[in-house]
Amino acid sequence: MTMEIIDGHTTHTLSPSVATIGFFDGVHLGHRFLINQVKEIAAEKRLCSSVITFPTHPRQVLQPEFCPQLLSTSDEKLRLLQETGINHCILLPFTLELSRLSAREFMQLLRTKYNVHALVIGYDHRFGHNRSETFEDYQRYGEELNIHILRADAYTEGEDKVSSSAIRKLLAQGDVSTASTFLGYAYGLEGEVTNGYRMGRKMGFPTANLTIANPNKLIPHEGVYAVFAHVNGRKHLGMLNIGHRPTLNNGSNLSIEVHILNFSENIYHQSIRLELLQFLRPEMKFSSIDQLVNQMKNDKEHIVLWSEKHSFTIDKT
């Protein structure tokens, strides 16, 4: 089933639906848990299921100087939402005018323009100007507007609540393993392979230097990671370094470069996608190039042994 993407400016009549609303950065397991509740209620009521989200982070509108660190780009978010099996995704432009609506006015907009008959609210979600109203207020407005208001259950992983902010903190610490557990998939980076200094080739470790497509995409903690590199529809094992290459005196420039194991194709100016699997070590400054090369050999051996232990399937070049 294909999710229908609906422009929030649309004027055509939408089918009655059970909806939920949020920014859904990363579309993590907590979001999927909420969306599954929406789908179940929609099935019981024999209505469509909808997610209402914003193409732009609300704080970028309210605070133009704010530079969000996002878990997912707009395209990634739509792809992840498609995977949930939701019927509709309504892309509602977040504007200053929208931000000034009271919760009741916003709910009236959902009812009259988007035909929302039931609204499932995340356990800690607030909306409306100043977000001052309570769930009980939403229920009262719902009775007045003929919208059934339901509170979603919280999702936890063990004792930890899963949230976008918690995942951002994990990635900022380099803990991609736990972040992936919370996300339900491996955190990814996507960008174009651009020209670098070609030092990796001289050291026997040719690297693809990545320029990330979206400047708001969160870059995890500096260090070395085991990754999958998706190139031309094929998946390869790789060794990623995020950092400033102190041994090579790279200065203040942040470098994102991946050595793809057993790979020799020319992929300059192509787009590739990386899945970050495991943090190996922090970036270090070595006293010589030879010491750096020896460490890279150890890192590569560690990645190969680790992948074999986990029985990962990769494509052969």
- Active-site positions read 257
Contact between residue 257 and residue 304 where contact means Cβ atoms under 8 Å apart: no
Distances (CA, A) of 294 to 61, 74, 94, 198, 202: 49, 40, 51, 18, 14
Q: Are the beta carbons of 128 and 43 closer than 8 angstroms?
A: no
Tell me how long the chain is. Answer: 317
Cβ partners under 8 Å of residue 51, min gap 6: 19, 20, 21, 22, 24, 35, 38, 81, 84, 86, 88, 89, 90
**CB neighbours of 125 closer than 8 A, spacing ≥ 6?**
21, 22
Query: 3-state DSSP call for residue 254?
Result: coil
Point out which residues pair with 4 in neighbouring strands. 88
Is the Cα dihedral 44, 83, 3, 60 positive or negative? positive
Q: How far, in Å, CA of 58 to CA of 24, rounded?
A: 12
**Number of C-beta neighbours around residue 174 at 10 A:** 21
Angle, CA of 220, 221 and 226, to the nearest 5° = 75
| Rounded Cα gap, residues 49 and 149, in angstroms | 14
Question: Could you tell me where the DSSP H helices lie in the chain?
Answer: 29-45, 58-62, 74-83, 96-99, 103-114, 135-145, 164-172, 176-183, 199-202, 289-309
